Structures are given as C-alpha cells and as structure tokens.
Amino acid sequence: MSNIDGLSSGLDTSSIINQLMQLERRPQVALTTRRDQEQAARTELSDIRTDLTSIRNAAADLRLSSGFEAITATSSNPDAVSVEASSSATTGSYSFEVTQTATAASVYSDQVYASLDSATGASGISSFSASGYQAAGFSGFVGSNFPDGPVTVEVIQGSEPAKVVGGIPTIPITVDGTNDSIDFEVDGFNFSVSLDHGTYNSEQALAEALSAAIVGHATASEHVTASLNASNQIELATRSEGSDRSLVVTGGTALTDLGFTLGQAGSGVDGQVEVDGVVTSISDTTAGTTVTLASGGAGSIEATLSGGVRTGTITAEQTTSGTTLQELVSAINNDPNLDYSALAVNTGSGYRLQLTSDTTGASSTIDTAGGEYGTMSFTQLTTGQDAILTVQGDNPLTIQSSDNTFEELLPGVTVTVNSETTGPVTVSTERDVASISESVDALVTQVNDFLNRIASSTANNPEGNRTVLQGNREARRAADEVRNALINPVDDNAFSSLGVIGIELTREGTLTFDQDAFAEAFASDPDSLSALFTNPAGEPGALDRLVDAAEAATSVGTGYLYTAGEAADQRIDTYGEQIDALERRLEIRESTLRRTYANLEVALSGLQQQSSYLASQLAGLGGGTTS
C-alpha cells in the first residue's frame, strides 16, 4: 500500500512508521549481533583446530625414529673424502687410506691434425635413427650394420590377443549360487572366477561384473580381460598378443547366461614387420620383450615391444658422418650407442682426437677396432682402474669400487673419494644434535604461537571490546592440555621433565627453549633424552602426550574442538531461523502500520469533508433569517 503522508492529518506517517519499526526490530538486531559473534567464534575455533592439527603432525614427525635418531656423518679429510648419511645410518666410525681413485679408460690419436677441419682418414660414425615406432607398438628401436640411406620398415599385420566372444541370450539376468562361475585356461594357466550375486539389467552391467570378478582374482587379471564389444557381446581376451597366446573356456555354471560354450577357444594373431622386404613374425608381444628384425642383409633392428603391434610405417635411416676432426667429434658425442665421448685436444702443435670412456673402473675400455676409424690409430692414455681403500693393520684389508662411491661402508653411509691420501681418513657418524635441536625449537615456537593465539582470543576485557572467544572453555582446555603435555614430569626417566633439558614454562604461560642446555643434556645421555620425548615401550613421552592431546581435541566426530564447532554451527543456524521468522513478522507488522495510517488519513479526510459540508449548511441557514 502506498504511503499517504499527512494529506489529511498533516503527520509525517512514513517517519513515524520507520521509527516504530526500528523499535520493533530491536530483538532482530540483537539476534543478528549474537549470530555475527557466533560466526566469528566459529571461525576462530576452526582456525585453532587447524593450528593444533599442524602441531600434532609436527610432533608425530619428530617422534619418528628419524627424529631423535637423526645421524650426521663427518670426514676427517672432507676434501679427499666426502660422506653422506641416510635415514638408516647408525653411529660408528671407520678409518682407511685412499690408495687409488677410480679412473676411466682414455686413448688419443697417434695422428696430429693441423685444424679442426682436417680430414682424419676415418670412415665416419654410422648411426641409425627412427621415428614413428612408438605408435607401432615399440618402446625401443635400434638398428645396426645397414648401408647409408633410408631403411624401409612397415608393420604389415597387427597382432591380436586370443579372444572368445559370448552372445548374451537374455537381459535381465539374475546371478545366484547356481550360475555364478566361469572357468578358463590362458596360456596353459587355469583360472576360475565368480560373479557377484544380483540382477543385471544390461549387457554392460554383466560385462562389468565379469571384469570385476577377474580383477578381484589374485592372478587372473594378469592374463585376461573382460569387456563388452561393439556388438554388445561379452569378450574375453588375453592381455598379451600373438600366436603364442591361447584362451579356452573350460567350464563354470555361468556359461549359458554369459553366452559362452564349453571348449570355446581362441588363438592370438602374430604381428608382422617387414624390413627392406624381409618379414619377421612376432608371436609374443609382451611389454619389454626384445625381438630381432632381420633385413636379409647385414643390417638388423633390435626392437623392444611395449604391447601389441599395430600396422603402420616406421621412418628409419642409417647415416654415416664424421670425416673431418670436428665432424668426428660431433658424431661420436651425438651417438647414443657409444659408451665414450670425444674431445679435440689442442697440443700446441696441432690437434689430437681423445676418447674417454663414460664409465670408470677396471672394466672401463674403449674399442676402436671397428671400421668407423679407418686408417686412424690410437695410444692408451689412461687405463680404467677401480678405486681402492686400504685399511691398515697386520693384514691390510683392501676395499674396491668401480667408481669413486662406496655404499654401506658404514651402515646407511655413502662415501665418495675425490683424491688419494697419504694418511688415514676417519669417517664417523653421530647423533645430529643440531638438526634435532632445530626441530624441537621449531615445535616450541609453533606451540607458543598457538598458546598466544588462544590467550588473546579468550581474554576477558572488562573495559574493552569483547574478544572473539572470551571465556571459551574448549579453547582454554586445548591450551592447558598442550602446555601440560610438555611440562608435566615423565616418570622413570633420568631427566624427569623437559625443564631439565632446556624447555621451561614462563610466567605468561608460554615456553622457552635453551638450545645449549639441550645440547649438553643430549651429549650426556641421548637415550634418556630421546625417551623423555617419545617412549612407546613404556611411560608416554612428552611428544606422545602432545599427539594424544591434539587428537583428543581435533579428531573428526569426537574431538572437543570439533564438537564445539558443530555446536556453534547449530547455534548459527538457529539464530538464522529466528532472524528469518522475525523478519517475516516485521514485514507483516509494517504492512499493518502502513494500512492503519492510510486508513486514518482516509477517515480524517471524510471527517474533514463532513465538517466542511456541515459548516456550509450552517452558514446557509444563518443567511436566511429576518429581523
């Protein structure tokens, strides 16, 4: 209803109604304020729970064996011998001399070349390149001994798995104990699988049930698959392809309903690859299998299968490059099939070709007897040799490695030798007190941040604004239990409490950490200090208690911070419902007021009209009198 502001009464009815509604809305405003406060408290509780979960995770990580058992490795001669400890390292030490470092075999050319562009007399490095073989079903494709030029490679027949197809006679099908099994033989292995009982209303559902039965079998899934083909028929197929694969249906109670027949069999189809006119059949396409593809000449290809072979053309080429010194160096370094690298060395009076093996050790060699080097000849520069460590004693012990790395010389420690030594080197491992101390310090800092947050959010401010969780019992309980987990004594421990080893409680309720006191305590009794934090075999340590306290507060469903958050959500929802209900009543109330005032104006207008009429009538009566 539209407003009629004082047309008859002269009253500002809109202002009067707005002021009356402001009075009426006071309960709703109070509810909105309480809901906003509850929402802020709910958010803070959620953030506190997240912080405590983070503390729990940090404590759980620290109490793992790798936490207080962290090991650091040192070398008495780090320039000659470097060491690295893994998480499995134990404490100990070992002394030895480095009597020999591992070297790689190296040769240089007897010929000296005037420039990098000089002809070397080499026939050149022959290399084989191919592309498109991955799409044909190969993961590796390496050729050799082909003449220079294109190599014609084509998969003329794709391989196929052994398969049998069942025509489902009717749908729906109900599977129970009378028709739930199928037996089959794959490549000589016998399997029996059972379908889940139930009614299947589509061919797809039945095919998926058979597939699930195969996947759930311990070994059948490694040999066979089940699917629905384009003709809505269930198809069993071997995972590998080729004529070596076979599949036979050997029995079962579900044959009729699945559309199979007893003795139904299928065989795989070979893939066929033609190389320069010569065809090779591949009867087993199991991934990782390597086959030799002959060409009829000296050339052949070693092909590694990645699965089934698919028809298509593979682009391949044999090329020979490297007749000048620079070309030869580039060809050697770009050939992935060579196990050595090349370098043109400027001797000051010309260049020599130097070849260095990619591997070190006594087995490191370089074979230059192939025809690729033509008239070139070579002299041995270095011979490959193993690294040797010698442990001195009445009967010296030697330890050898083909490279300069020694694994597990000490348990969990990797030793790398960089140079020979003229005296013993001692490699030792010990508890890494520095890293442990840093981890403890980080945890104490995290706990202090948590305690300060709760102290701030729950504080009572008689003369200030209300804090977001003022007086909240659950938040204060979380702070108390976290604090107590770290400061309470630990029975049957030489240190008795964390205060003895440097973690103390302040007057403000937070913690301090003295790393020097911690290091001193660790040096005096590392086992007792470790048990002070975590002791799964006996009295719980401080970290054990901290994890338990955090889980008691934060666990989904049962943690008191979690349930407090759920209760806050319920209160927020209740406030929202009450606010909405009040809003509906207020809308009705405002509509009633506007209607009442509008009616008042109409009534006053009528009265005013009557008054004017009566006045005019009275005036008329008065004008008709005589004296």
Q: Rounded to an integer, what distance in angstroms lies between the CA atom of residue 52 and that of residue 54? A: 5
R_g over Cα of the chain:
45
- DSSP output for 273-309: EEETTEEEEES---TT-EEEEE-SSS-EEEEEE-SS-
Question: Domain 163-268, CATH 2.60.40 — does that match?
Answer: yes
Report in angstroms the alpha-carbon separations of 179 from 43, 256, 264, 290. 57, 8, 18, 43
pLDDT along the chain (627 residues), means of 10: 56 79 82 82 89 92 73 91 85 92 96 95 87 95 90 96 90 92 93 94 92 91 92 92 95 93 94 96 94 93 94 93 90 88 96 96 90 90 95 90 90 93 91 86 94 90 79 90 91 87 91 92 86 79 91 90 87 84 84 80 76 80 56
d(Cα 65, Cα 284) in Å, to the nearest integer?
A: 48
Residue (of 455, 503, 504) closest to 478 by Cα position: 455
One DSSP character per residue, 474-542 reads: HHHHHHHHHHHHHHS--TT-SS-SGGGGTEEE-TTS-EEE-HHHHHHHHHH-HHHHHHHH--TTSS--H
The residue ranges of every structural domain in the chain are: 41-68+433-563, 72-102+386-430, 107-124+322-382, 128-159+272-320, 163-268
DSSP classification of residue 152 = E
Reduced to 3 states (helix: H, G, I; strand: E, B; else coil), residue 376 is coil
Distances (CA, A) of 416 to 14, 90, 432: 91, 18, 20
Q: Is 347 helix (H, G, I), strand (E, B) or coil?
A: coil
Name the helix (H) or strand (E) containing 372: none
Q: What is the DSSP string of 572-590?
A: HHHHHHHHHHHHHHHHHHH
| pLDDT attached to residue 1 | 45
* Exposed / middle / buried, residue 225 (Cβ in 10 Å: 0-12, 13-18, 19+): middle
pLDDT at 627: 45
The first and second tokens of residue 22, run together, are: 């402001």
- Say what the pLDDT of residue 160 is: 95
Measured CA to CA in angstroms, residue 556 lies from 52, 482, 563, 566 at distances of: 13, 18, 8, 10
Instruction: Indicate the angle between helix axes 26-62 and 433-458, nearest 10 degrees.
Output: 170
Q: Which residue has the tokens 């804090």?
A: 467
pLDDT for 126:
84
Q: Which residues contact 253 (CB under 8 A, 6 or more apart)?
A: 178, 179, 180, 181
How much helix, strand and coil, in percent to the nearest 5, is found in the chain? 35, 30, 35
Residue entry with tokens 């190969």:
138
Residue with tokens 């102290």: 455
Characterize the bridge pairing of strands 224-228 and 234-238: antiparallel
pTM of structure:
0.52
**Cα separation, 8 vs 5, whole angstroms:** 8
Residue 145 pLDDT:
86
Q: Which pLDDT value is given to residue 528?
A: 87
Q: What sections of 339-493 are H helices per DSSP?
A: 433-458, 473-487
Provide the pLDDT for residue 130. 93
12 - beta bridge partners?
A: none
- Residue 523's alpha-carbon distances to 294, 304, 431, 492, in angstroms, are 70, 58, 9, 20
* 618/608 Cα distance (integer angstroms): 15
Give the DSSP letter of residue 113. B
